[in-house]
Structure 1
Amino acid sequence: MTEDPQARIGELVANNDVLLFMKGSPLFPQCGFSSRAVAILDHLGVSYESVDVLQDQGIRQGIKQFSDWPTIPQLYVKGEFVGGSDIMMEMYEAGELAQLLEQHGLAKAG
């Protein structure tokens, strides 16, 4: 793995179908927004990987430039930036997030 944060972020995004950059971990989210993002993904039953930005200052700052999005958490699906927790919540409530995951064959069966 390379030391350049942008390259590392690019590798992580490319190698994980559903990836959440968050503060903390899914078991111990370190902010309310990250907690809400985890709750949404868990409720949808999708498997995902997470990156704790608090563990790596380069990624914590780099992800904001990578996506051109100022806040964390950030959700990526199949290499595409989806949004932060507010966008996730809006998409979830409208059924759009489940639809996006289904389109990529990532949603929970049944």
Structure 2
Amino acid sequence: MSNVHERIDQLVKGHRVVLFMKGTAQFPMCGFSGRAIQVLKAAGAPELTTFNVLEDEEVRQGIKDYAQWPTIPQLYIDGEFVGGSDIMMEMYQSGELQALLNKA
């Protein structure tokens, strides 16, 4: 496992809810990241750790390999890859996202 994958692994497994995004929760730097934050807030995410991939080129590329997912944002809950903003929106609309976030 490469160094960047180890760093990503520690982030994903060290926090309950992690969103790899462009920008920050306060200042998203792309529409998809902004929508992801809005969906998580609407779903009542109890805790949220964000990682700004624009500040770390290694992670920006590495996260795509880590999840075998080509786009950012990427959401992880309880160490598992959930998906990007479209999947998050679908899961929110079905209530699945809230169930995942609120399980003990």
**Which of the five TM-score ranges fits, normalised by the shorter chain?**
over 0.9
Work out whether 1:88 is the aligned partner of 2:83.
no
Residues 7-40 of structure 1 show CA distances to partners (whole Å, capped at 9, x for unaligned) of 1000000100000000000000000000000001
2:48 maps to 1:48: yes
The TM-score normalised by the length of structure 2 is: 0.95
What do the CA deviations read for 1:46-85 (whole angstroms, capped 9, x no partner)?
1200000000000000000000000000000000000000
Give the share of equivalent positions with the same residue, in percent. 54
**Normalising by structure 1, what TM-score?**
0.90
Name stretches of at least 5 consecutive residues in structure 2 with no aligned partner.
none
Kindly report which structure 2 residues correspond to 1:30-49, keeping only aligned pairs within 5 A, or say none.
Answer: 30-46=29-45, 47-49=47-49
> Which SS does the other structure have where 1:70 is aligned?
coil
The residue aligned with 1:13 is 12
Q: CA RMSD in A?
A: 1.1
Name the aligned partner's letter for residue 16 of structure 1: H
1:101 Cα deviation after fit:
1.5
What is the rounded CA distance, in whole Å, between the counterparts of 2:99 and 2:42 in structure 1? 14
**In structure 1, what is the Cα distance between the partners aligned to 2:17 and 2:100?**
11
Moved more, 78-87 or 3-12: 3-12
Q: Any unmatched runs of 5+ in structure 1?
A: 106-110
Cα separation, 2, equivalents of 1:77 and 1:58: 22
When the two structures are aligned, how many residues end up with a matched partner?
102
- Secondary structure of 1:28's counterpart equals coil
